[in-house]
Structures are given as C-alpha cells and as structure tokens.
Structure 1
Amino acid sequence: MNTRVRVLNATYEDFDVIPAARAVVLLTEDLAITLVEHTPRFVVRSQHVAIPLPRTIQLLEYVHTPPRPVVDDDTRASFKIVLARDHHRCAYCGDAGATTVDHVYPRSRGGGDNYGNLVAACADCNGRKADRTPEEAGMPLLWVPRAPRTDHKRQHAIWRELTLSN
C-alpha cells in the first residue's frame, strides 16, 4: 500500500499521482475507475469489499485545473534543466558527460538565458567556442535547442501504458 497511483482526468489527461490509499477511497466512493491494475496483483480487502490495487485510475467526472504556464523557447531556463534536456551530451561534439551550459548566441552580444539559446557543452567545446557564434567558431550544433516538453512526453507515456495494458 506504500505505492503511488497515477490519476487521469475524465479526458485521459494526466492529473496527479496520489498514494494508493487515497486511490482506493476514490474507487470505493465511485469517483474513479481502475484502468490499469498493479502488478503483481494485490487485493485490498475490508470486511465487505475487495478491490484490486490500481496502478492507474480515471476520474469519472472532469476536474477543471488551472492552465499551466506555457514554456517555450523564449522562456528563461535553468542550467540544470538544460543539462537534463540534453542528457548531458555536448551539442557540439556529441560526447556524453557535458557539465557546462553554453550560450549559442553569446551573452556578451545580447544572447539570453532562454531554452532556445542554451545547450549542454563539454568544457573543451565551451572553451573553444568562447565568445563566438557556432558559425564563427566553425562548430555547428548537432541539434536545435528547444524548450523541454515534459507534459507531452508524460502524456504519451500514459497513452502507451494504457494501450499495452488492454
């Protein structure tokens, strides 16, 4: 019972992750249905009810949530998230283990700290590029920096899980 259960809104959109005990309460009060059962199968029992422990539940009625802030390429970025977005892989040479973040368009020339202007870079490439653009340094980018799309990735993972469970 110390597991967590994914909750989907009535529209199958990711809503929350809650403790299993709370999910069982939602199921017993007929506020949600089980979409995916926990594996290995575990049944939660009371005197009158036996409910298989869920891994994913869906709310029966839509719950309005306030819109999340839009994160796009012009949004101010943190270096930690840029490194995670690029999987600590250098955007110039492709080597793993990048520990620094480089401004594609140098900050000294007006380049900002936004997702569209920051990439992970190894210390060697970052130092070699210095205060130049990738074109000036002769170091083309291996990919175009974009804002992370974690909501879309999480939603696709949910749809994949639901497809595989049926």
Structure 2
Amino acid sequence: MTSIRIVSFVAYDEKKLKIIYNKNSGRCEYDKVNLEFENHGKSCVNGAWEVDHSRPVSRGGTDHMDNLVPACYLCNREKANMLASEFKVYIAEKFPNMDDYRQKMRKKHCS
C-alpha cells in the first residue's frame, strides 16, 4: 500500500512558535522528549521539532492554535496523517519502551 504524505508549509512567526513550543514545556506532545527551540524545522538532530496538527489538515484540521502542538521530528514523520489520539495509542501498543521507539524511528527516518 502506497502512503502519500501531504505537506503544507505554514511559516509561523517567533511569537507563535514560542507559544506552541511552551504548550508542553518544551517537550514533544507524543514521546515527551526534550526539544530545543532553536532546532525548529531541523531534522535528525537532538531537539529537532516541528509544528504538528493534532487533527491533520488532510482530515479536516485547521491552523488554529488549539490544533497545533510541538512534535519532535521523528514523531511528526511517523504520525503522518493520524489523529493525535490515534498516534498515542499506536506508540503505546507498538512500542512500550520509549528508548526502543526512538532508536527505531531514528533508524527509519534519519538513515
């Protein structure tokens, strides 16, 4: 089965990025890894993160601040178009050990 990732790029100003980043005290919404504010938009470096849509735009989500969360690069790549609630269940069921999850995601998305 072929997966298609729809990417829409929205440039957020620094004020909005800080609000989104601080929603989880600088941690990823999904795996709770520490993020580095200055690593927003970067990939495969410690603390790399992106703005994620809890409800993806492809599934009716919007760019409203209530729908935006900080996600580490690895989680955002893996989540694709899942709802936040679906992705949290996916991680918990498939990867009970978060260190194992991060290692596998790094290999999958950064190799």
What TM-score do you get using the length of structure 2 for normalisation?
Answer: 0.48
CA radius of gyration, larger in? 1
What TM-score do you get using the length of structure 1 for normalisation?
Answer: 0.34
Question: Highest relative contact order (Cα 8 Å, sep 6+), 1 or 2?
Answer: 2
